[in-house]
Amino acid sequence: MSCNSCPPFGGYKFPSCFERYGGVSNTKNPGNVQSLHSLAHNVMPKFYDGIELDYYHRLAPNKFISAEWVLSHVRPAGFRFGGVYTFHVEDDFMDCAHQRAFFVQLTPTIIGNVHPTTLAANLRMIYYPFKPLRMEAVLQKHAEEVPVETQYTIEWTRPSDTWTANFYNVRNENGRFTLSAMRSVSQHWAIGGELLLEWNEPKSIMTELAFAARYSHHNYSFAATASRLGLDVSYWQRIHPQIQMANLLAWNRSTRKTIATICYQWNFWNCAVHGMIDSDALVGFMWTRYLSYLPLQMGFSVVMSLPTNRFAFGMRFVLDPSGLRRGD
């Protein structure tokens, strides 16, 4: 195709017509909609119920085995064993030299555990066919004779936006599907949305649309999601190199109920403290510590409801000679 509109050659090189050139973007990837409030949620305490004993052992850079024993009224009690396996790992680095000719990185990771008595099992597989694309599958088999719970994720990541599709227990009779997108419009602003499709009958589909936005700096972040079903707002701030605080607000339209939560995280040189209080007068506290002279992480948590004067207490011990779970 000729380009008669181009100026004559005069010592300068002009691009051809309809030729695309890559630009430069100063914006950062905003993540997905599911992790929009992750900074605030990470500050909240993670409460234990009963007693939990975990063991992790490293067999190789890409092979780990795990064992877990739980005594709880909420979680399924008993013993579980499992492990983590990652393909093509050598000396803690992914080995993709044999795939360079195909421009593909085969890096699947398999995480699973099983209850030896009831044969209840959890399986998670993460696979990157190439760098921007993440494919993930989560399968959960219960001890009862019920269908296996499934969740499949396909996520495409670019320098300034992320597209995610999630499939939850998709069957002909029922299921749920979400399609979300998040894009950075500047160095501090990110906006996005999520489309929800849910059906309990083959010919009855419910649709919902939610909008998301976040304004962030290096030491604070404000995020909000809104839909016809409700509103979620979170604010996170690092007020000190060792102290983080977060505020969360959730409003449900159908129940006309609003819950506000204030939480904090204080990191010391050898332990971490999390605390929270919400508008329902629910007070919680969590303390964790990794012992320097033993490969042991220990923690306990307490949550109390002041109106009902009831509380729950839990403890967790993690024996980790390889240091895999250090700092969790």
The DSSP symbol for 217 reads -
- pLDDT tens, residue by residue, 216-273: 999 999 999 999 999 999 999 999 999 999 999 999 999 999 999 999 999 998 899 9
- pLDDT tens, residue by residue, 185-201: 999 999 999 999 999 88
User: What is the reported pLDDT for 96?
Assistant: 47
pLDDT of residue 287 exceeding 90, the answer is yes
Return d(Cα 7, Cα 16) in angstroms, integer: 11
- Answer whether 84's CB lies under 8 Å from 72's CB: no
- pLDDT tens, residue by residue, 55-103: 998 888 788 999 999 998 888 788 999 999 988 655 555 554 444 433 3
Give the Cβ contact number of residue 55 at 10 Å.
15
User: What is the reported pLDDT for 322?
Assistant: 73
Return d(Cα 28, Cα 236) in angstroms, integer: 19
In the numeric block, the tokens 């001890």 are attached to 143
Local structure of 89: helix, strand or coil: strand
User: What is the reported pLDDT for 240?
Assistant: 93
Return d(Cα 164, Cα 113) in angstroms, integer: 26
What's this model's pTM, rounded to 2 decimal places? 0.81
Show me where the domains of the chain are located: 158-212
Return d(Cα 139, Cα 73) in angstroms, integer: 23
DSSP string across 290-301: E-SSSSEEEEEE
